Each structure stands twice: as C-alpha cells, then as structure tokens.
C-alpha cells in the first residue's frame, strides 16, 4: 500500500446513521435547472442535438449573450412546492439540485460572484425555497456543485505554466469559499454531489478535493460526499492509487448501470444517475430529446437493478425555463411512484441478496433489516414462467405477490423442479407494471 496523503479516508463503507439513511433511500430525484433551460437546446432557431446544459460550449455562444439570459430568468412559473410534490409522486426519498453547473450560474445569491439569482428579475433564493419545500415533506436535499466553471477567469483545464498555477489556485480558493457559503447558508443539506472534476487541473490538486471533503464534514456532521469530487496524490479519481474508494459512495455511473451480474459492485455504496430523455440533463425542447423519453417500467427496472446490487438510483428532471416541470416527466414520476407505492418494500431499505445469483428475468433484493428476499420480475419470459434458484439447501415454502388485487399479499402457486430450483407460473398474476414476489424460505 502506498502512503497517500490525499487518498481514501476509510477501507470499509460508512455505517453511521446518516450514511445508513442515505443508503436506505434508494430512490432520488436529480434536478438540472439553470439558464440553459431557457434556450432548451435551441439557438438562433436551430436545434443543437446535444445535452441542453452544454449549449453555450457546443453552439459557441459569446459569454455576454449567455449572461444576458439571466435577464429572462424570471421564474414566472417556478414553485418549489410543486417540484417537491413531484418528488413525493415519484417516491423519491432525496433530491439533488444543481446549485451551480458548468456555466457558473448560481441558484443562490452568492457573495463570491455576480452571476447568480440575486442579479435576475425575481432575485429569489431558489435553493432556499427548494430546501424548505422538500424538507417540509421529509425529503433530504443534496447539492450538486460543478467544480468546472467555464465562466470564471481563473478556471484552467490544464496547468501549463506558473501563471496557470497561480490562476487556478485563485479559482480553487473561490470554489472553496462558495462551498463554505453553501454549507453556512443551508446547514440542513444532507450531501454534496460534485461534478466537473475530470480535467488535468483538478486531478493535479488532489489536496484541494481532500480539503473540501474535510471542510464539509467538519461543518455538517454526517454529510455525504460522492466519490466524483476526489483525486488522490497522483491524480487517481474515485478510487485511490491503493484501490480504495474515496468519498462516501461511488458515483461513476452516469447514464449507465453496472452489469446486473457484477456482484463486486455490491462491496461498497454507489449511485447511478440517469436522464429521462436519452442524453440531456437540462430541459431540451427538440424532438432529438423529447422523442426519447424513457418508459416508466424501464425506470422501475433500473431502480430494481440498482437496489439488487446495493446502489441508489437518481432520476433526473429538467424543469423548463419558466420553472414549470415538464408534464411528460411528471407523468413518468407519477407512474413510477404508483408502482413504488405498491412494491416499495422490495426497494426502500433493501439491497444485495447474498447467495442469490442473477436470474435474468429481473432481480433479487433483500431487506437489510429483516432479511426478507424479494423477486422483482421486470423481464417476463415468453414462457410466462420464471425459475427461482435458491441458495443451496434453502427451501421455498411460500410465494406472495405484493399488492395484487388490492391485497398486501396474495399467495401464489409454485412447484419444485429439482433440488433448490422452483418454477413459478406467472399466469393470473396481476399488477400495474413489473411483478414483485415476497419469498418465504
Ligand atoms: C451529471 C452530468 N454530468 C455532466 C456532464 C458531462 C460530460 C458530457 C460529455 C463529456 C464530458 C462530460 C452533465 O452535464 C450532467 O451534469
């Protein structure tokens, strides 16, 4: 093992109450909202077929024209209560909001820049309103913060000379001041989700990423920090040069999930984040994005997939420029939330079912407190039958379909094929969306 000054601070997952709470949430609502929601992927009448929040870079928009959007950011239809109601409808237990994305615009009135909500027509503290509305509903709030800042004059992608090093040192000082400001203004925040840390400039300053995590945990005991913030002494990211996870959970899964049979993932905490359109985090009005919205049952499959490997699933919403939630995304939230309302006990507080192999037709999850194992059937075989292969020596004595026909449980028939292999005929099992069985063993 190398002697690292800025490597992982622990070898095993955190087991304190705050981390257990985050782990048990399993389902979160990601929100990307900022000036990019105004053009919504369209510039000078043309759709730019790339993530809406990258528009200023992809369309090469002059800085002054991008900054002028702040004058149009009127929040005409922004209502934090309605956003929070969407999270309740989704069945989300936490929410992660973009406090500052790569363009540098801040959703709070920051004292360290002029590019913030205070210099918009409404002057409203969007973050303050969101924290109040979500916490009033018992939903934890996390802050996304982009270390990458296209606007700041001292930002550097690479460090070529002393001048770059001096400038970037000023930038890191600015970013640290903003993070202290966020921690002081919103002390009830439960986590920080860092992004924009892939450039050489940040990787060469692992000490700063270590200091940020230390500062936040000193100011907000229990706060949860993602691995994407961290670089070690040698620029290794997420996992340090000794192979140990930095931060509190692995956050490398962006618009992708681990292979469902990759049991190694379950060794540590992790979270996957996912867009509803194919590839835009900010609201994109064009058919390039709007024609690719995910089906609610695809979202349910991803939620169960993550839970089965001990991970959280963070589903992204991109509110429109006026502050309203996109109706199609709200509808998806409602359908997923209705499924969770019936089958959530197989998700919330659940995780990896040790000893149960990946079955192919869906996922096994296990309640971390009671040990109850569930089968979530998201890919019903053409045969209409699933095979349950139990850990060797285990007997299946009962099978209950969750929430069917309005009953909390509904005994379902099964038969032994051989040894610890059982077959379940899914015929007659009814439920809106993927079926979930509680296994009695
Ligand atoms: C969570 C997601 N990470 C951000 C990104 C990115 C990106 C996109 C292309 C190449 C390199 C990085 C997206 O804008 C969104 O915030």
Residues 168 and 72 in one domain: yes
Tokens standing for residue 336: 């997923």
Cβ contact 318:281 at 8 Å: yes
Q: Is the dihedral of CA 331, 333, 336, 340 positive or negative?
A: negative
Cβ contact 436:374 at 8 Å: yes
pLDDT for residue 408 is more than 80: no
Please identify, among 344, 365, 384, the residue that sits at the C-terminal boundary of a domain. 344
Q: What 3-state DSSP class applies to 343?
A: helix
Give the angle subtended at the CA of 413 by the CAs of 410 and 419, to the nearest 5°.
130
Tokens standing for residue 4: 């690292």
Phi-psi region of 234 (alpha: psi -120 to 50; beta: other; left: phi over 0): alpha
Please identify, among 316, 344, 372, the residue that sits at the C-terminal boundary of a domain. 344
pLDDT for residue 404 is more than 80: no
């981390």: which residue's tokens?
A: 19
| Residue pLDDT, tens place only, 134-189 | 999 999 999 999 999 999 999 999 999 999 999 999 999 999 999 999 999 999 99
Task: Grade residue 406 by pLDDT with cuts at 50, 70 and 90.
Answer: low
> Side-chain half-sphere of 213: how many Cα atoms within 13 Å?
24
State which H helix or E strand residue 314 sits in.
strand 311-317
431 within some domain: yes
What mean pLDDT do residues 79-101 have? 99
To test the pocket of ligand 1, the residue of 55, 99, 254, 280 to mutate (highest count of ligand atoms within 8 Å of its CB) is 254
Counting the structural domains of the chain, the total is 2
| Residue pLDDT, tens place only, 304-325 | 999 999 999 999 999 999 999 9
Task: Grade residue 431 by pLDDT with cuts at 50, 70 and 90.
Answer: confident
Residues 408 and 428 in one domain: yes
Residues 262 and 118 in one domain: yes
Cβ contact 333:89 at 8 Å: yes
Residue closest by Cα to atom 6 of ligand 1: 196
To test the pocket of ligand 1, the residue of 28, 104, 281 to mutate (highest count of ligand atoms within 8 Å of its CB) is 281
Residues 338 and 366 in one domain: no
Q: What is the pLDDT of residue 410?
A: 80
Q: What values do phi and psi take at 317, rounded to 5?
A: -120, 140
Q: Which of 347, 317, 336 is nearest to 82 (CA)?
A: 317
Residues in CB range of 352: below 8 A, 6 or more apart: 263, 266, 308, 309, 310, 365, 366
Residues 311 and 363 in one domain: no
11 within some domain: no
Cβ contact 416:353 at 8 Å: no
By residue range, what is the domain housing residue 382? 351-440
Q: How far is the CA of 67 from the centre of ligand 1 (A)?
A: 21
Please identify, among 344, 374, 395, the residue that sits at the C-terminal boundary of a domain. 344
| Residue pLDDT, tens place only, 100-133 | 999 999 999 999 999 999 999 999 999 999 999 9
Residues in the chain: 441
Task: Grade residue 265 by pLDDT with cuts at 50, 70 and 90.
Answer: very high
Q: What is the pLDDT of residue 428?
A: 78
pTM of full prediction above 0.90: yes
394 within some domain: yes
Residues 75 and 143 in one domain: yes
Q: How far is the CA of 173 from the centre of ligand 1 (A)?
A: 23
Cβ of 81: how many Cβ atoms within 10 Å?
13
Task: Grade residue 22 by pLDDT with cuts at 50, 70 and 90.
Answer: very high
Q: What is the pLDDT of residue 432?
A: 87
What mean pLDDT do residues 221-229 have? 98
Q: How far, in Å, CA of 92 to CA of 28, rounded?
A: 5
- Pocket residues for ligand 1 (CB within 6 Å)? 51, 53, 195, 254, 273, 281
Q: How far is the CA of 253 from the centre of ligand 1 (A)?
A: 11
Residues in CB range of 163: below 8 A, 6 or more apart: none
What mean pLDDT do residues 210-222 have? 98
Q: What is the pLDDT of residue 430?
A: 74
């Amino acid at each position: 093992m190398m002697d690292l000054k800025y490597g992982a601070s622990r070898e095993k997952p955190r087991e304190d109450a705050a981390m257990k709470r985050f782990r048990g949430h399993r389902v979160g609502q990601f929100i990307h909202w900022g000036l990019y929601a105004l053009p919504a992927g369209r510039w000078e009448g043309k759709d730019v077929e790339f993530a809406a929040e990258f528009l200023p870079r992809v369309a090469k928009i002059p800085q002054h024209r991008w900054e002028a959007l702040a004058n149009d950011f009127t929040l005409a239809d922004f209502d934090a209560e309605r956003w929070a109601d969407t999270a309740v409808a989704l069945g989300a237990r936490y929410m992660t909001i973009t406090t500052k994305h790569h363009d540098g615009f801040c959703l709070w009135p920051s004292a360290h820049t002029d590019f913030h909500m205070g210099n918009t027509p409404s002057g409203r503290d969007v973050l303050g309103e969101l924290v109040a509305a979500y916490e009033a509903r018992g939903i934890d709030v996390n802050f996304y913060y982009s270390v990458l800042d296209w606007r700041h004059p001292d930002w550097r992608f690479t460090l070529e000379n002393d001048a770059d090093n001096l400038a970037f040192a000023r930038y890191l000082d600015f970013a640290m001041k903003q993070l202290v400001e966020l921690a002081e203004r919103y002390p009830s925040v439960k986590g920080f989700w860092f992004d924009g840390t892939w450039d050489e400039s940040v990787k060469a300053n692992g000490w700063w990423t270590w200091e940020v995590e230390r500062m936040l945990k000193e100011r907000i005991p229990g706060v949860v920090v993602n691995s994407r913030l961290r670089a070690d002494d040698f620029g290794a990211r997420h996992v340090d040069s000794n192979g140990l996870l930095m931060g509190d959970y692995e956050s490398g899964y962006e618009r992708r999930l681990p292979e469902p049979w990759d049991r190694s993932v379950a060794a540590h905490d992790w979270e996957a984040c996912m867009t509803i359109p194919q590839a835009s985090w900010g609201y994109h009005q064009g058919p390039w994005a709007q024609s690719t919205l995910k089906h609610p049952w695809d979202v349910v499959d991803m939620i169960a997939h993550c839970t089965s490997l001990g991970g959280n699933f963070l589903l992204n919403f991109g509110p429109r420029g006026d502050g309203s939630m996109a109706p199609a995304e709200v509808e998806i939230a409602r359908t997923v939330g209705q499924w969770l309302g019936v089958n959530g006990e197989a998700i919330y507080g659940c995780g990896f079912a040790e000893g149960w192999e990946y079955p192919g037709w869906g996922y096994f999850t296990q309640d971390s407190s009671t040990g109850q194992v569930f089968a979530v059937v998201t890919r019903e075989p053409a045969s209409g039958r699933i095979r349950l292969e139990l850990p060797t020596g285990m007997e299946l004595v009962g099978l209950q379909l969750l929430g069917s026909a309005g009953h909390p449980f509904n005994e379902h028939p099964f038969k032994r094929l051989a040894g610890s292999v059982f077959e379940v005929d899914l015929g007659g099992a009814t439920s809106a969306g993927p079926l979930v069985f509680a296994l009695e063993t």
